[in-house]
Amino acid sequence: MMFAIRNYAATMCGTILRSFQIRAKHRLLATFDFDNTIIDGDCYEAVGGFLKQPQETTEKLRKLIEERNWMKYMRIVLSLLHQQQDVSITEIVQRVRQLPEVPGMMCLLRQLAKDSSIDMCILSDANSYLITEWLKANQMTNIFTAIFTNPARVCLDGFLQVDPYEHQTHCDQCPENLCKGSVIKSLMNCTNYNFNRIIYVGDSCNDLCPIQSLRQQDVACIRRDAELHDKLPSHIDNIRSQVLIWRDGHELQHQLELNAIL
C-alpha cells in the first residue's frame, strides 16, 4: 500500500491514507492516540529496550523521558542502536509489530470503520514508520483516514530517520515537534470536513492539549488509571467536552454506546 504525504490544509501535513469523506452533516471524527491507547505499550519503550549503554547516556535519556520529549528520545536511541549496537531495523520493527493491542481495541476500531458517517485518524507523537508497521501486522491499515505523527523513513544504510511533524512555539503544553491540540483545531476548523462531533481517545498528559481544544459537543475519552486520568481533577475545569473514562476497548465501546455516541 502506498502512503501519500501531502498538505491538505494550510498548516497541516500528515500521512493521508485516503480522502476524508466530505459530507455536510452529521460527520463524526474519531481520533486516537497510539501508545497505550491502541497498543498496550509504548513504541519508545519497545525501542529503548534494545539499549545496553553507559550510565551517562542513560541519564541524558532519562531527562528526555522526564520532559516527555519522545521524538528526541527516539532519535537518540535509534542512532545508538544503529551506530553502536548494530541492531537492525528489522529487529526493531519485529518487536514493535508484536506489541499487543489494548484488549478489545481492534474490535472497536473495526466496528467504527464500518460506519460510513465516521472518519478515523491517529494523532501520535510516535512516528509514521512504526505505527504503519504495527497496523500492517494487524491488518488495520484500511481502518484510518489519516495518521498525524512524526514522519519517518528507512535510509539506504538501514537507519530509521524520524523527523519532527512541525516546529511549533505557540504551545508550551506540547513538545516543540507536535502540538496535538492545533491538529485537532485545524480539523475542527476545516470547512471541507465539517465534523459536528469529534471524539478524542488518549491516555497521557500529552493528550491534554487536544482534549482542552474540544468543544461542548465533543467527547474526551480518557484511559482509567493512566497518567492523564490521575491528573484529571486539576484540569477538569478547562475541559468543555463530555468526558468518558475507559480501561480497555470493551469498556470504551460500552461507554460510547451507553452515552448514545455510537
DSSP string of 180-215, one letter each residue: HHHHHHHHHH-TTT-EEEEEEEE-SGGGHHHHHT--
The least distance separating Mg ion from the CB of residue 256, rounded to whole angstroms, comes to: 19
DSSP H helices, the chain, are 43-48, 55-66, 70-83, 89-97, 105-114, 128-137, 180-189, 208-212, 227-231, 249-258
Beta carbon of residue 206, minimum distance to Zn ion (angstroms, whole number): 8
**Choice between 55 and 238, CB closer to Zn ion:** 238
For Zn ion, the binding residues in 147-176 under the rule CB under 5 A are 171, 173-174
Instruction: Specify the residue, 27 or 223, whose C-beta has the smaller distance to Mg ion.
Output: 223
Distance (Å, rounded) from C-alpha 13 to C-alpha 150?
Answer: 10
Q: Tell whether residue 33 is a contact of Mg ion (CB under 5 A).
A: yes
Work out what residue 206 binds among Zn ion, Mg ion, none; the CB cut-off runs from 5 to 8 Å by kind: none
Q: Which does 150 bind (CB under 5 to 8 A by kind): Zn ion, Mg ion, none?
A: none
Q: Which residue is it, cell 468518558?
A: 244
* Interactions with Zn ion, residue window 196-225 (CB under 5 A): 209
**Residue 225: which of 102, 96, 129, 127 has the closest Cα?**
102
When computed from its CA atoms, the radius of gyration of the chain, rounded to whole angstroms, is 18
Q: Which does 33 bind (CB under 5 to 8 A by kind): Mg ion, Zn ion, none?
A: Mg ion
- Residues touching Zn ion: how many (CB under 5 A)? 6
Rule CB under 5 A: say whether 204 interacts with Mg ion: yes
- 174 contact choice in Zn ion, Mg ion, none (CB below 5 to 8 Å, kind-dependent): Zn ion
Answer for which of 101, 125, 166, 203 binds Mg ion (CB under 5 A) is 203
89 vs 143, which CB is nearer to Mg ion?
143
Please report, in angstroms and rounded to a whole number, the separation of the first and last CA atoms in the chain. Answer: 30
- State which of residues 15, 31, 36, 145 lies at the interface with Mg ion (CB under 5 A): 36
What cell was used for 179? 502540538
Q: Are 104 and 38 in contact (CB under 8 A)?
A: no
Taking the C-alpha atoms of 98, 155, 74 and 226 in order, what is their torsion angle to the nearest 10 degrees? -40
Can residue 179 be called a binding residue for Zn ion (CB under 5 A)? yes
**Minimum CB–partner distance for residue 143 and Zn ion (Å):** 26
What residues line the site for Mg ion (CB under 5 A)?
33, 35-37, 203-204
What residues line the site for Zn ion (CB under 5 A)?
171, 173-174, 179, 181, 209
